[in-house]
């Protein structure tokens, strides 16, 4: 992938959005993966009507009013994130849905715990990506907007990182930052983040996740992770975006810390819009595009 940069020490920043987990495997692998009820969703699909989603959502029947509003506005062309942003920006609607937004967080957390558990043993594109990073780069930073456990599981398999404590996410070889939180993160009474080591142990009633909006002001990761990200952005020189739309203002502001980007690779989505939304269009550098995560892996079997 970086043959033209072979004399430069590569420090990649990899940004993972919902499209990365959605495209977990190649289309010719796990033949029925695309039809599975528990395939990781794009954010606009978190209120699916299949048995898997309904089985979880029936525990949160108080959400039904919010679900109806979100669906109605999405039919008019708005995204899930845009609708939630509208609700949070409206004093009247914040009051109307004040008890449903916390319940939405609980639903999202439980949904992605179950999605993680169902898909955790699949060996797919995450494993291929991290294998390539391990053999080609001495240091990498992965910014994960997904709540699921799937990227972490692949990093653990490939790098042998135990993730036994929050410091393990800041490994010398590869750092994993869940900016919007993880199914393994919860908040204790002091509002500190607690880590669960195993999916089976996740029973938290106070998950540390950010309900997705376009105007999120806060991250749901430990402060030490946020500081590590800020420091790494000063030295990162290649950006790889997989399944992320770039529509998160708080993170776009952080990306202003990027100084010298030599190459940007985007898989999935509308490349010009992603570059504009994220502010990465300010860099005059090589820009490459692949339709899917799978095609990126096929096109770039190594990083040399």
| pTM for the model | 0.93
pLDDT attached to residue 239 = 96
Q: What is the pLDDT of residue 249?
A: 85
Q: What is the pLDDT of residue 2?
A: 46
- pLDDT (average), residues 22-47: 85
Is the pLDDT at 241 greater than 90? The verdict is yes
| Cα–Cα distance, 129 to 203 (Å, whole number) | 31
Residue 147 burial (10 A CB sphere; 0-12, 13-18, 19+)? buried
CA angle 126, 12, 165 (to 5 degrees): 65
So what's the pLDDT on residue 4?
43
Task: Give CA 171 to chain center in angstroms.
Answer: 19
Q: Are 42 and 270 in contact (CB under 8 A)?
A: no
Mean pLDDT of 121-130: 94
Question: Which range (67-71, 88-92, 216-220, 264-268) has the least confidence?
Answer: 216-220
Neighbours of 304 (CB within 10 A): 14
pLDDT of residue 6: 52
Taking the domains of the chain in order of start, what are their residue ranges? 3-33+122-299, 39-119
Q: If one looks up domain 3-33+122-299 in CATH, what number appears?
A: 3.40.50.1220
pLDDT band at residue 204 using 50, 70 and 90 as cut-offs: low
CB 139 within 8 A of CB 114: no
Percentage of residues of the chain with pLDDT beyond 70: 93
Q: How confident is the model at residue 303 (pLDDT cuts 50, 70, 90)?
A: low
Q: What is the DSSP letter of 203?
A: -
Handedness of CA 77, 83, 86, 90 (dihedral sign): positive
Mean pLDDT of 169-192: 90
Query: What pLDDT is attached to residue 158?
Result: 96
What number of CA atoms fall less than 13 Å from residue 266's CA on the CB side? 19
**Alpha carbon distance 120, 268 (integer Å):** 23
Q: Where is 32: in which H helix or E strand?
A: none
- Provide mean pLDDT across the span 130-152: 93
Task: Name the band, by pLDDT with cuts 50, 70 and 90, for residue 304.
Answer: very low
Please write the tens of the pLDDT for every residue from 68-117.
999 999 999 999 999 999 998 899 998 999 888 888 989 999 999 999 99
- pLDDT, residue 26, reads 78
Instruction: Please provide residue 176's backbone torsions phi and psi, each rounded to the nearest 5 degrees.
Output: -120, 120
CA distance 253 to 241: 16
Cβ-in-10-Å burial (0-12, 13-18, 19+) of 151 comes to buried
**What is the mean pLDDT of the segment spanning 239-267?**
93
Q: Which residues contact 176 (CB under 8 A, 6 or more apart)?
A: 142, 144, 151, 152, 155, 169
Residue 33 has pLDDT above 90, yes or no: no
pLDDT at 8: 57
């Amino acid at each position: 992938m970086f043959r033209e940069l072979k004399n430069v020490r590569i420090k990649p920043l990899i940004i993972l959005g919902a499209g990365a987990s959605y495209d977990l495997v190649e289309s010719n692998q796990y033949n029925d993966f695309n039809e599975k009820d528990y395939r990781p969703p794009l954010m606009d699909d978190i209120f699916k009507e299949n048995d898997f989603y309904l089985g979880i959502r029936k525990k949160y029947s108080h959400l039904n009013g919010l679900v109806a509003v979100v669906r109605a506005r999405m039919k008019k062309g708005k995204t899930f994130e845009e609708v939630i942003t509208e609700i949070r920006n409206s004093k009247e609607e914040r009051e109307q849905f004040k008890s449903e937004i916390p319940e939405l967080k609980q639903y999202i957390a439980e949904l992605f715990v179950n999605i993680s558990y169902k898909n955790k043993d699949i060996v797919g594109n995450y494993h291929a990506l991290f294998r390539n990073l391990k053999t080609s780069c001495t240091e990498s930073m992965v910014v994960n907007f997904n709540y699921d456990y799937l990227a972490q599981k692949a990093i653990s398999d490939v790098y042998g990182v135990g993730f036994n404590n929050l410091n393990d996410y800041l490994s010398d070889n590869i750092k994993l930052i869940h900016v919007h939180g993880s199914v393994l993160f919860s908040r204790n009474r002091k509002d500190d983040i607690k880590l669960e080591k195993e999916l089976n142990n996740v029973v938290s009633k106070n998950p540390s996740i950010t309900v997705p909006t376009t105007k999120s002001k806060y991250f749901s990761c430990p402060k030490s992770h946020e500081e590590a990200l800020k420091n790494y952005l000063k030295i990162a020189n290649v950006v790889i975006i997989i399944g992320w739309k770039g529509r998160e203002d708080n993170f776009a502001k952080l990306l202003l810390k990027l100084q010298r980007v030599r190459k940007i690779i985007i898989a999935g989505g509308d490349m010009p819009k992603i570059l504009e939304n994220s502010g990465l269009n300010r860099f005059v550098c090589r820009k490459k595009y692949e339709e899917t995560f799978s095609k990126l892996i096929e096109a770039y079997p190594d990083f040399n």
